Amino acid sequence: MRRLLLWMAGNGWLRQRIPRLPMARRAIRRFMPGEDPEAALSQAEAFRDEHIGSLFTRLGENVVRIEEADATAEHYLGLLDQIAARGIPGELSVKLTQLGLDIDADRAMRHVERLVERAADGGGVLWIDMEGSAYTERTVALYEQLRARHTNVGICLQAYLRRSAADVARLLPLDPAIRLVKGAYDEPVALAYRTRGAVSTNYAALSIELLAAIAAGRPVRLGLGTHDVALIEQLAAHATALGLGHQAFEVQMLYGIRLAEQRRLAAEGYRVSDLIAYGTAWYPWYMRRLAERPANVLFALRQIVG
């Protein structure tokens, strides 16, 4: 089921057609407050009152026209201004292929750098998502270049990738901001751990390494980008054993998933952010959310039928 859904996520024919179905638009509401950026900003204001920060992402990836990438960069610059003007504790999370990496890598880099600079005005980090394995090396290399010039840039690493241990070791000397996730794409066994247990074990090992750097006084920022609360609790206990407080790392979850846990962790004094997606290009992203949990397919079908 997971592999089928991930195949569907990458299928251009379906990508053209499914989003036009009104019932599919109804089903997506579980994972997005709305397609409009205003829906995301309003939701972030509500989260602010609950001491939950927000990460904004305008959905879209693998754009094929450079004008789309340019427009996305302009859109994000405007959004950063709105976040600052409205006093929202929020940061952006962007995909390099949304900013033109497939078409013109230099231009994509310039777009990211403008966003990093604008994010710095509001004191925030610009987070770079990690896409499929065809992009991993380019993303890590671009992050290295950016981090050499800016302190407020973060990268997502995927615990299912075998190479991530080496990437953590490679980036640690830069005092990086790292969001660690399990990984959402369909990767071959040569590149990725494929069982839930192996992925979680690697996730814990990588987090423990990053926590050790934090305990040693390094200005590393660690975002645990997972809804696996047992794993978060295990890592929180490890952080406590290292003498670290609740604020030493942060928890990042997606809008619509485990909100009660987000609220509980925030109330207990952990730093929590909710990643709020918006925009019309939600199809591949939504399919990855379905793939993460087969029960979501039944939920989506119920929405469609009902």
Ligand X SMILES: Cc1cc2nc3c(=O)[nH]c(=O)nc-3n(C[C@H](O)[C@H](O)[C@H](O)COP(=O)(O)OP(=O)(O)OC[C@H]3O[C@@H](n4cnc5c(N)ncnc54)[C@H](O)[C@@H]3O)c2cc1C
Q: Which residues are catalytic?
A: 129, 179
Q: Please identify, using beta-carbon distances, which residue of 104 and 292 lies nearer to ligand X.
A: 292
Minimum separation from the CB atom of position 253 to ligand X (A): 5
Beta-carbon neighbour count of residue 289 at 10 Å? Answer: 22
Minimum separation from the CB atom of position 93 to ligand X (A): 7
Residues of this chain that interact with ligand X (CB under 6 A) are 129-130, 156, 158, 181-185, 225-228, 252-254, 257-258, 275, 289, 292-293, 296
Q: Read off the tokens for 194.
A: 């494929």
By the 8 A CB rule, do 33 and 278 touch? yes
Beta bridge partners, 161, equal 192
3 state SS of 25: helix
Q: Please identify, using beta-carbon distances, which residue of 57 and 152 lies nearer to ligand X.
A: 57
Q: Please identify, using beta-carbon distances, which residue of 16 and 237 lies nearer to ligand X.
A: 237
Q: Read off the tokens for 262.
A: 């987000």
Report the sign of the C-alpha dihedral through residues 249, 130, 86, 34, in that order: negative
Residue with structure tokens 């423990």? 208
Q: Please identify, using beta-carbon distances, which residue of 24 and 216 lies nearer to ligand X.
A: 24
Minimum separation from the CB atom of position 227 to ligand X (A): 3
Minimum separation from the CB atom of position 133 to ligand X (A): 10
Q: Give CA 225 to chain center in angstroms.
A: 7
DSSP string, 30-61: TT-S-SSHHHHHHHHHHHHHTT-EEEEEE---
